[in-house]
């Protein structure tokens, strides 16, 4: 199985993932043998059914035909195999069709599905996350009607937020919801960037949509609605596909501009609390960005490693050429990719555990602690993995040389597919601003300080621990410098992305140290240890540079005026 080493690494991470003891104490069954069996089954489906479809999805792409979206041949059969295998509802309650398995295992399985095809995997995520939100926030009748059908793949779901003039700035949403005398709502407006906004893979699609239900300004006037594309008898519900976007990559995942004309909707959660209600779904979709980026990065790395073991070039001219993996620069690229992948993988799994613990905690103090840590880790898990995917695809292309730039190899598709990961579900800049303004300034670094305490508990008297300790000192230095800029936000904003990167580098270093300290004698352990050691070797220098950039201030932006002067 091509995915064998990938699964071996994931299985070790699942064994060593942070907070497993806490998860078990909360009542979650931690059964590594069962988890490995499930992971192997996910890999078989990914490699045998989903991966062969990916090239077709890229070459042919979804098409708009007579006002509806038509997917590529074979997509429906692959979706049915995915749904029938129970992969949509792993964390959902058993009485609603799920398997009641932990988020951390869901996260691991999503990795191999995304490695096979990120375009394919993008349909399952909104269905699952919408189902989880309905369990938490919808009237029981709605949940009982929708959740089992979302879980078994009979119905699908989207998240509808963005509009042409209101992307991440949701307070400017203009789509209107008007209450009817029958207690229902009628929704009219336009939504854009809707992944799988329409398709022929499920019988019905539920659009989970923010719309303005009152004259209150900003987010206070927004409510959340479930707007089905059809009635149960198939009658259209005032939902229209305006067009499919022509995109750089992810051609098999139709990104739709949707129109809603007096579409009938059902209110989910309290009126005027739409964003807060939708946040449950958004958090889980953001968490799923981790395995998405890591799975794609792991596939790119494996291809580059394999190519480096086949391609011969260079060496002494009087001798036969050597494998390119013998060159120091190629080893640097490959080890750098491996280190970042394993660090991001551990961060993603840790974030899954922390998010679940924040929701299972019964004591208010414990719930607040886990929630604070989750809010710190989630932006890192999302953005670290999103940029990792594109960076690893680019580095893999570099290993391939000119061959990687051709369509003979799949690396060029991987590069195209991965570029958007750092854009959707909150851009890198938005994640960075959130980390600075909310996590550091508003919350006084509560989640960061929790992380620092946890990481320092695992330091030992050895060289790898010294590397992490130095990086943590750089993080604290940046926190102090940026803290002094709270009254002059532009000063801090100029370094926000560097600060996010610094936080990510340090959390990744914590994971890398755990890998080094837990390494065993198996080949999988040796690879994880090597990746962790390389990551830690470069960490102090990288952290020091990022700390300096984070606190450099806004004076370096003054020259921008020259580009807008009349």
Which pLDDT band holds residue 78 (cuts at 50, 70, 90)? very high
- Rounded average pLDDT over 489-503: 96
Contact 253, 171 (CB under 8 A): no
Mean pLDDT along residues 219-238: 92
pLDDT digits (tens, 9 = 90+) for 364-402: 999 999 999 999 999 999 999 999 999 999 999 999 999
232 or 410: which carries more pLDDT confidence? 410
Is the entire prediction scored with pTM above 0.85? yes
Residue-wise pLDDT for 127-153, tens only, equals 999 999 999 999 989 999 999 999 999
What average pLDDT does the segment 144-163 reach?
Answer: 94
Q: Which CATH code of 2.60.40.420, 1.10.540.10, 3.40.50.2000, 2.170.190.11 fits the domain covering 4-151? A: 1.10.540.10
The rounded distance, in Å, linking the Cα atoms of 146 and 128 is 11
List active site positions.
425
* pLDDT band per the 50, 70, 90 thresholds, residue 240: very high
Cβ atoms of 47 and 11 closer than 8 Å: no
The tens digit of pLDDT for each residue in 105-131 reads 999 999 999 999 999 999 999 999 999
**Tens digit of each residue's pLDDT (9 = 90 or more) over 395-424:** 999 999 998 999 888 999 999 999 999 998
Map residue 321 onto helix, strand or coil: coil
CA angle 277, 281, 286 (to 5 degrees): 130
Query: Percent of the chain having pLDDT more than 70?
Result: 99
DSSP E strands in 433-498: the ranges are none
The pair of three-digit structure tokens given for residue 559, joined into one six-digit string: 């020259």
What number does CATH give the domain 156-272?
A: 2.40.110.20
Q: Do the beta carbons of residue 413 and residue 319 sit within 8 Å?
A: no
Residue 179, strand partner residues: 185
Return the pLDDT at 232: 82
* pLDDT of the residue at 96: 87
What pLDDT score does 519 carry?
Answer: 80
Q: What is the pLDDT of residue 318?
A: 83
Q: What percent of the chain has pLDDT over 90?
A: 86
Rounded average pLDDT over 80-102: 92
Confidence (pLDDT) at 316: 79
| Per-residue pLDDT, 317 | 82
pLDDT (tens digit per residue) in 271-283: 999 999 998 899 9
Output phi, psi for 210, to 5 deg: -85, 130
User: Rounded distance, CA 317 to CA 320, Å?
Assistant: 7
Kindly state the average pLDDT of the residues 349-357: 96
Distance CA 285, CA 125 (A): 7
User: From CA 438, how far away is CA 453, in angstroms rounded?
Assistant: 20
* CA separation for the pair 342, 529 (Å, rounded): 10
Structural domain spans, the chain: 4-151, 156-272, 427-556
């Amino acid at each position: 199985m091509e995915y064998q080493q990938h699964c071996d690494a994931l299985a070790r991470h699942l064994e060593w993932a942070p907070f497993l003891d806490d998860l078990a104490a909360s009542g979650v069954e931690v059964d590594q043998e069962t988890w490995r069996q499930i992971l192997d089954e996910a890999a078989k489906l990914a490699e045998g059914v989903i991966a062969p479809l990916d090239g077709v999805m890229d070459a042919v792409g979804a098409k708009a035909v007579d006002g509806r979206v038509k997917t590529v041949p074979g997509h429906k059969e692959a979706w049915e195999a995915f749904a029938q295998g129970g992969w949509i509802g792993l964390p959902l309650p058993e009485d609603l069709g799920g398997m009641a398995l932990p988020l951390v295992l869901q996260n691991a399985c999503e990795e191999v599905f995304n490695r096979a095809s990120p375009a394919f995997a993008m349909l399952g995520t909104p269905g699952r996350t919408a189902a989880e939100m309905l369990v938490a926030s919808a009237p029981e009748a709605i949940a009982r009607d929708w959740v089992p059908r979302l879980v078994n793949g009979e119905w699908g779901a989207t998240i509808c937020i963005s509009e042409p003039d209101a992307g991440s700035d949701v307070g400017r949403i203009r789509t209107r919801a008007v209450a009817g005398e029958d207690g229902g709502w009628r929704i009219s407006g336009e939504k854009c960037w809707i992944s799988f906004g329409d398709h022929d893979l499920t019988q019905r699609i539920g659009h989970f949509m923010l719309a303005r239900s009152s004259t209150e300004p900003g987010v206070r006037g927004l409510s959340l609605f479930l707007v089905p594309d059809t009635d149960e008898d198939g009658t259209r519900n005032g939902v229209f596909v305006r067009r499919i976007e022509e995109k750089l990559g992810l051609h098999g995942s139709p990104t739709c501009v949707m129109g809603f004309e007096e579409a009938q909707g059902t209110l989910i959660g309290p009126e005027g609390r739409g964003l807060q209600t939708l946040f449950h779904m958004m958090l889980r979709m953001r968490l799923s960005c981790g395995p998405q980026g890591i799975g794609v990065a792991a596939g790119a790395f494996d291809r580059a490693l394999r190519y480096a073991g086949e391609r011969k070039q260079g060496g002494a001219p009087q001798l036969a050429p050597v494998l390119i993996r013998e060159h120091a620069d190629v080893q640097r690229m490959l080890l750098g990719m491996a280190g970042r992948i394993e660090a991001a993988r551990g961060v993603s799994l840790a974030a899954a555990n922390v998010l679940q613990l924040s929701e299972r905690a019964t004591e208010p103090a414990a719930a607040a602690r886990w929630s604070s840590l989750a809010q710190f880790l989630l932006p890192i898990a999302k953005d670290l993995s999103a940029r990792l995917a594109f960076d690893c695809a680019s580095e893999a292309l570099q290993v391939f040389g000119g061959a990687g730039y051709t369509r003979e190899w799949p690396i060029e598709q991987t590069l195209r597919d991965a570029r958007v990961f750092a854009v959707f579900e909150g851009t890198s800049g938005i994640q960075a601003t959130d980390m600075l303004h909310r996590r550091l300034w508003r919350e006084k670094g509560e989640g960061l300080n929790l992380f620092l305490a946890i990481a320092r508990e695992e330091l030992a008297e050895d060289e790898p621990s010294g590397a992490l300790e130095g990086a943590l000192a750089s993080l604290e230095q940046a926190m102090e410098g940026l803290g002094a800029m709270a009254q002059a936000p532009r000063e801090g904003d100029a370094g926000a992305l560097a600060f996010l990167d610094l936080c990510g580098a340090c959390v990744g270093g914590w994971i890398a140290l755990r890998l080094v300290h837990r390494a065993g004698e198996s080949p999988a352990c040796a690879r994880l240890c090597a990746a962790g050691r390389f990551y830690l070797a470069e960490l102090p220098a990288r952290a020091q540079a990022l700390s300096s950039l984070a606190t450099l201030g806004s004076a370096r932006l003054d020259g921008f005026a020259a580009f807008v002067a009349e």
